[in-house]
Chain A
Amino acid sequence: MRLVVNEPGLFLGTRGGVITVSKRREKRLEVPVAKVDMVVVLTRGASFSSALVRLLSKHNVPIVFYSPLGLPLSVCRGLTAGSVALRKRQYEAQSGETGFMLAKLFAEGKMLNQTSLLYSMARNREVSDQPLAKHLHEACRLVRDVVRRVREVGLDNGGREELVRLEAEAAKIYWDGVKQALSKVIEFPGRRKRFENPSDPVNISLNYLYSVLAGECLVDVEACGLDPYAGFLHADSPRRPALVMDLMEEFRQQVVDRVVFRLAFERKLDGVVEAGRLKREARMMLYRAFAERLNTSVTFLNRSLAISEHMLLQARRVAEHIMGRCEYTPFVL
């Protein structure tokens, strides 16, 4: 479970090996460390005792601090073991065939998840809204077409640029379909990224949860001993952890999009934005829905586990692929 700190004035300490949460010396909660996988801090003005940080580090429970926009700012955790051989192989793989295979599989996984989301939306509307269902089925078919072209891309003749181009093409079809479906319940001008400063609740919620997802992936990538900044599909950047962005691609649709669209269809996103920002309660609501989705068990590669556990396993499979021990399979539902 995740312990979410979303209220200024909270104090987190420890007594006898149990995490205690209090506000103005009044006890609010006591949880054993064994039950907590991660402490998530979404607010300013909360304080932690050093004894707690020690206890959490000892049990390998990270504390993740997020900015008000949802960007992961810092991860506080115990030291992990060095993984020199893996990292060396990772940097080598960036320019070679191994890394290119990974980039292709990340892109493929993303697109296949896009089709499965479009498909389930289409299926749900076959009776209630036939023209829309037909349109979504068509979008689904177009994205699948792009997937076929991705599989044929080779490394030699500008393969990387081609991958990025195809990814953008699939994204355009996907978001156009989503726009059509969402336009019945909420105003959605199409997908806008964070730097485009969107003002509609859907884009703001998407951007917020994508960033939160990045924090989760960052913790998993680091736990496997990989360098989060050396990516395969995304270009290296000192500001953005490229490998985290890579690993995220195949989880965006299943974890974030699905949650946000559901909330939009349930009309829970009306009035969550105030002065271009999410309200505190809205942040908590989004996080709760997101965590619920992460804890949902799904079957992938014959194993039924919570999605957050599949995320860690996928990070480990990336490491195994880099070391040449097994083939990588993108997470597709």
Chain B
Amino acid sequence: MFTLVIYDISDDDLRARVAQACKRFGLVRVQRSAFSGRIPSSLRRELISVLSKMVEGTEDNIQVYVVCEPDMSLRVELGKPFKGEESDMLV
């Protein structure tokens, strides 16, 4: 399933930790405060529980969207694409 995580966090330290957690679970950065990628639902659930502990008791907000394949294919990207992280070392 396609997963989209967006967040609005004022604390620099916490924001960095949230970004790191998203990366660790296999999501890629698509915008400054948005990560997305295709990951299994077990990983998604684990990610959600990690993130929920992070924002517990703060004023910050994280949203996790799950998008199915047919809806995902309707995605439109406008403007200059955010830099992708593809490498020739991964095959």
- B residues near A (Cβ < 8 Å) are 20, 23-27, 39, 43, 85, 87, 89-91
Contact = CB atoms under 8 A, between A and B. Distances in A.
Contacts of A16: 20, 23-24
B5 to A, nearest CB: 14
A1 B87 contact: no
A133 to B, nearest CB: 34
A291 B91 contact: yes
Contacts of B26: 32, 34-35
Interface in A1-27: 1-6, 16-18, 21
- Mostly, the B contact residues are loop
Contacts, number: 48
A16 B18 CA distance: 11
Given A18-B20, A30-B85, A32-B25, A4 B43 contact: no
A36 B91 CA distance: 10
A29 B25 contact: no
A149 interface: no
A34 B44 CA distance: 12
Given A18-B23, A28-B87, 8 more contacts: A4-B89, A4-B91, A16-B20, A18-B20, A28-B89, A32-B25, A32-B27, A291-B91
A68 B91 CA distance: 19
A18 B26 CA distance: 9
Nearest to B19: A16
A34 B39 contact: yes
A5 B89 contact: yes
A292 interface: yes
B90 A3 contact: yes
A17 B87 CA distance: 19
A119 interface: no
Contacts of B91: 1-2, 4, 287-288, 291-292
7 contacts: A2-B90, A2-B91, A5-B89, A21-B87, A32-B25, A34-B24, A34-B25
A32 B24 contact: yes
A291 B89 CA distance: 12
A31 interface: yes
A292 B85 CA distance: 19
B46 to A, nearest CB: 10
| Chain A to chain B: the 10 pairs with minimum beta-carbon distance, closest first | A34-B26, A17-B24, A291-B91, A32-B26, A16-B20, A29-B87, A1-B90, A35-B26, A288-B91, A18-B23
